[in-house]
Amino acid sequence: MNTDRDRDRERDGDRDRDRDGDRDGDRDADRSATPTTTTAASEKPHHTPADTAPPLTLRPAHPADAPVIAAIHQAARRAAMPYLPPQRRTHDEVTRWIRETVLPQCHTVVAARGPELLGYAAVRGDLLEHLYLRPDARRTGIGTRLLAEARRHRPDGLSLHVFQLNAEARAFYAHHGFRVVATDDGSGNMENLPALTLHWAPAPGPLSPRGTP
């Protein structure tokens, strides 16, 4: 979308916040249902690839997923944030960062369709560190599913960082109830790009009637 301040933590594995890609700039909208049609008894229904595709599932990420997560991370950043400088880390280096830093430190979930991974989200504390989708999986509702899982994990509130240039990500998170709570001029991130801190908080529940505990 995550997961999308973005300090490109894969470069040094420090505490710098990675700013998102769907943070990957994804204005996810759930796919509308395909209308059904009636066929004559002698006709065979036509099946599209979506008819036979395995259902989308969310599951915890495993160390064995690290190479695919790294590939998603790199591809998503290239597609969603073309204004960033070329990535210097190799795929092997990003894979090691995912396996040795992200997975141990974050609650990380992948979106999978059968054996195929389509995206991931990583939450550390109350910060959505990363939310990235494979470029061909954007605008399919997967980012929304991953964000919902991140909020389920942190029901009291969730924050994230996003570049001001990342208009698609900003719109995506605004659509899901995130509000700007801080700005910075980029002097604190490696890319020197102005950034925003966004925060989501659950709606307050109904007030108890007066005189009840």
Both tokens of 15, joined, read: 């505490």
Q: Which residues pair with 112 in a beta bridge?
A: 57, 117
CATH level 2 (architecture), domain 9-27+55-200: 3-Layer(aba) Sandwich (3.40)
pLDDT in tens, 131-170: 999 999 999 999 999 999 999 999 999 999 999 999 999 9
- Check pLDDT > 70 for residue 6: no
Is-contact 134 15, C-beta < 8 A? Answer: no
Residue-wise pLDDT tens digits, 20-66 = 444 444 444 343 333 333 333 344 445 455 567 789 999 999 999 99
Tell me what pLDDT residue 94 has.
98
- pLDDT band at residue 191 using 50, 70 and 90 as cut-offs: confident
Residue, of 24 and 119, whose pLDDT is higher: 119
Distance CA 184, CA 193 (A): 9
Residue 178's pLDDT is: 98
Mean pLDDT, the chain, integer = 82
Predicted pLDDT at 56: 96
What's the pLDDT at 184? 93
